[in-house]
Amino acid sequence: MLIPWGGVGCCLSAAALYLLGRSSGRDAEVLRSVARAGSTKDLAAILDTASKVLPLVVAVSGRVGSDTPLICQQSGMRGVIVEETAEQHFLKHNDAGSWIQDSAVMLSVSKEVPWYLDDGTGRVFVVGARGAAGLVLTVASEVFEESGRTLVRGTLDYLQGLKMLGVKRTERVLPTGTSLTVVGEAIKDDVGTIRIQRPHKGPFYVSPKSIDQLIMNLGKWAKLYQLASMGFAAFGVFLLAKRALQHFLERKRRHELQKRVHAAAAQRQAREAEGGNGTSDVDSNNKKDQLVLDICVICLEQEYNAVWPHVLLYELLFSFDELSTLPEKNRPSCENFPPLTALRCKIWYRIFQIHLILGMWTAVT
């Protein structure tokens, strides 16, 4: 029995989607249990009364600020996180002889300065925001600089199978004044500075969405993953059940065919036993008529063992299926027959066998 890889793949995909849904659902439940600080002043009061042993995971909102902001070179925007990338775009010669466009990263630089969230009542510094979930940087500028085309450089690039188009420079920035919601572990040092950082175990989000929007979004994805998991599981079970049913029916057909063959052999042995006990002239004539029906259609000399017309028809159809896979030479010798000659002979030979059986059956009946 061949393994139904389609059904197995659907079941594995269903399991993966189920785990993703469980993970999103757990994240949503954790965010529901996070303490919400109405203001930085309230957060300071909570930290003063909170346990020093267990980490305190809170959600804080405010506007991005910094005492030493970064200034983008291309756009001039002020930000606290700046990422600069440079991509070399070019055309390369593939094996088919055509030119396809491709790119390669030449430069990737990320800068970050100390920054905080300010809600009007105080400041909360954020540490390690680039590794947080939900962080989205604004595209400050995209500039495409065409490559200088000289004869020597163009010739060298052409010999290497390349055509340089230019360099695309992109700046992404977290601008100052952006409203953000930060979920993480809140700590307070000896001088009274409050920081939010990634907890040892728990959520860490830096997102322009509010805490309620984050919970709603995670719950929506959890439901979507669960529905997709159920769909893949149902389809996978259907494919597995279909393959199992086909295997069962195939084995049943084989068993019935074996029973028919054994029954035919038993009937033949019974006829031979009856003929050996003594027969009359009428029985001799009947035996001769029966012998005509029992002649093998392949050699026309011996009696057949078990020949079924539908088996010959199946071989005929199988011969038709071979038409698309027949090579130029139809046998391993060096002689090169015209294409499909041997297969045509085989097909006509099967047709002749079927007509011969039908003709003999019509003559007898």
Q: At 157, is the pLDDT very low, low, confident or very high (cuts 50, 70, 90)?
A: low
pTM higher than 0.75 for the full model? no
DSSP helix, strand, coil percent of the chain (3-state; round to 5): 45, 25, 25
Per-residue pLDDT band at 46 (split at 50, 70, 90): confident
Q: What would the two tokens of residue 146 be?
A: 């065409």
Rounded mean pLDDT of 8-17?
A: 91
Where do the structural domains in the chain lie, given as residue ranges? 35-210
**pLDDT tens digits for 258-313?**
888 788 778 878 887 876 655 555 455 554 444 444 555 444 445 555 444 545 55
What lies within 8 Å, CB to CB, of 108 at 6+ separation is 83, 84, 85, 86
| Distance from C-alpha of 165 to C-alpha of 169, rounded to nearest angstrom | 13
Helix (H, G, I), strand (E, B), or coil: what is residue 255?
A: helix
- Contact call for residues 195 and 129 (beta carbons, < 8 A): no
